[in-house]
Amino acid sequence: MRQNEDKIDSLLVKILTRTASQEEIEEVELWALESRENWETLNAIKKLWKEQSAATKKPISKSKIDDIWEKGMLKKKDNSFFYSTFVKYAAIILFIFGFYSTYYYFIAANQEIEKNEVIEYTVLTNPAGKKTKHTLPDGSVVFLNCSSSIKFIKAFNSEERKVYLKGEAYFEVAKNVNKPFIVESNGIATKALGTIFNISAYPGYNTMKVSLFEGKVEIQNPSSEKLPILLPPGKELLVNIKQDSYTKSSFNPELVAGWKVGKLVFDNADFKEVKVKLERWFGLEIKIKGKKPNDWKVSTIYEKESLKNILTDLQYAKRFAYEINDNQVTIQF
């Protein structure tokens, strides 16, 4: 047990001095997720730091550092759990200045922005009917789907690479062990160091989905007390935001990310989903006349097909009439 603690001490020092490898950073992350006690220890420090937010504006006394450390890291009955003096003070200093890349994700929200500091954001937005590919300042590549947008600090000139997403995007993240890549969507944070994943998080829905193609991501709702979820390649996480629940499963890569190569995918889709996807894909409005069907289940893939071809194909199976007038389609049942 003591040997493992010594190893964690050593890894923390390496992270502090920015000499840790990606594997070593991931090892510390896994240690934090081994038990609720470890996780709550970090949360205790986070809470105490929030209470001491004014400390960034004045010198920190040794007694105050001791107080934060004792309450946060030594919240145990077993006094044998003891970190070296260097790591004890270095870790607190690290939390103060935000250099701790491994756990920056947990405390970034508590760092106070100076009132006179102006932060410039880059916003990339796609209207309905448009899909784009972008290279971010760090070299990461983002495929942005229709009716979607991303926002990030210009040039990523902060201690993290954070992207705010509305809608759907496919990320190919450039590796940087000292700057985790974080995507926030619908209040859910997805963290990666160097990986490929797709997030579907359109506004107005109670669920969102994170699908991992390569690497490893960590997913958490910062407002929840639940431990973060580590997602392995080939798995996706369906997040019910309202209920704060998660469902993990396998996925078909073509069904999830076919959109970025011009494939309009319907996977057991009901009428509402078909309508919404067609409106996003082609940038138009669909009006319905007659009684909407309740028994639609469409499973097919259209690759670079025109709106007319798609509607004609669906018409044969679902028995409806349609009319296209510029950016408006009327469907008659």
Yes or no: say if 185 and 175 are a contact pair by the CB < 8 Å rule: no
Tell whether 115 is covered by a domain: no
Residues 293 and 191 in one domain: no
Predicted confidence at residue 319, as pLDDT, reads 85
pLDDT for residue 108 is more than 70? no
Residues 151 and 220 in one domain: yes
| Count of structural domains, the chain | 3
Assign residue 220 the CATH number of its domain. Answer: 2.60.120.1440
Instruction: Name the residue range of residue 58's domain.
Output: 2-110
98 pLDDT tier (thresholds 50, 70, 90): very low
Tell whether 323 is covered by a domain: yes
pLDDT tens digits for 60-70? Answer: 454 554 554 45
Q: Which of 110, 144, 169 is the last residue of a domain?
A: 110
Q: Which of 110, 134, 166 is the last residue of a domain?
A: 110
- Of these ranges, 49-58, 109-118, 308-317, the one predicted with the greatest mean pLDDT is 308-317
pTM, 2 dp: 0.67
251 pLDDT tier (thresholds 50, 70, 90): very high
Tell whether 67 is covered by a domain: yes
Residues 51 and 34 in one domain: yes
CA 262/CA 318 separation, integer angstroms: 24
Predicted confidence at residue 41, as pLDDT, reads 53
Assign residue 302 the CATH number of its domain. Answer: 3.55.50.30
Tell whether 38 is covered by a domain: yes
Residues 65 and 186 in one domain: no
Residues 130 and 250 in one domain: yes
CA 333/CA 331 separation, integer angstroms: 7
Strands 207-214 and 328-332 come out as unpaired
Residues 199 and 310 in one domain: no
Residues 249 and 266 in one domain: no
- CA-based nearest residue to 259, from 184, 314, 199, 185: 199
Predicted confidence at residue 253, as pLDDT, reads 95
